[in-house]
Structure 1
Amino acid sequence: MKRFALAVAAAATFALPAFAGPQFVDETGFAVSGYDVVSYRSLEQGPLGQSQPEPAKGRAEITAEWNGATWAFASEENRAEFLSDPERYAPQYDGHCAYGVSKGGKVPGNPTLWRIVDDKLYLNITKNVVGFWEEDIPGNIDLAQGNWPGIEDNDASNSTIPNFSSQAPVQN
Structure 2
Amino acid sequence: MTAQRQERYARRRVLAFFALLAGFLAPACLDSAGRAATTERVVVNRYSGLAIEGYDPVAYFSESLAIQGLPDFEASEAGVVWRFRNEGNRASFVAHPEIYGPQFGGYDPVDLGRGVTYAGNPRFWLVIGQRLYLFGREENRDAFATDPSRFLEDANARWPGLQQNLSQ
Give TM-score, length-normalised by structure 2: 0.69
Letter of the structure 1 residue corresponding to residue 93 of structure 2: F
C-alpha spacing 1:110/1:146, structure 2 compared with 1 (3 Å): same
Q: Deviations over 1:109-153 (max 9, x none)?
A: 011111111111111001122233234211001110011001146
What are the within-5 Å matches in structure 2 for residues 109-128 of structure 1? 109-128=120-139
* Aligned amino acid, residue 41 of structure 1: F
Q: Deviation digits for residues 63-97 of structure 1, max 9, x if unmatched?
A: 00111210001111111110111100000111111
**How is 1:138-157 mapped onto 2 (pairs within 5 angstroms)?**
138-152=149-163, 154=165
The question of 1:81 aligning with 2:92 is answered yes
- Aligned AA for 1:36? D
- Greater shift, 128-137 or 63-72, is seen at 128-137
Please give the alpha-carbon distance, in whole angstroms, between the structure 1 residues aligned to 2:166 and 2:139: 22
| Aligned residue identity for 1:102 | G
Q: What is the percent sequence identity of the aligned residues?
A: 31
Q: Does 1:136 find its partner at 2:147? A: yes
In the other structure, the counterpart of 1:5 is: none
Please give the alpha-carbon distance, in whole angstroms, between the structure 2 residues aligned to 1:33 and 1:130: 18
2:44 equivalent to 1:25 = yes
Aligned to 1:8: none
The answer for unaligned runs of 5 or more in structure 1 is 1-20, 45-53, 157-172
1:36 and 2:56 equivalent? Answer: yes
* Partner SS for 2:155: helix
CA distance in 2, matches of 1:81, 1:22: 22
Rg comparison, structure with higher value: 2
CA RMSD of superposed structures (Å): 1.9
Q: TM-score, normalised by structure 1?
A: 0.68
Partner of 2:124, secondary structure, is strand
* Change in CA separation of 1:152 and 1:91 when aligned onto 2, cut-off 3 Å: closer
1:105–1:155 Cα contact (<8 Å) kept: no
Deviation at 1:102, TM superposition (A): 1.3
Report which structure shows greater RCO (CA 8 Å, sep ≥6).
1
What amino acid is the match of 2:148? I
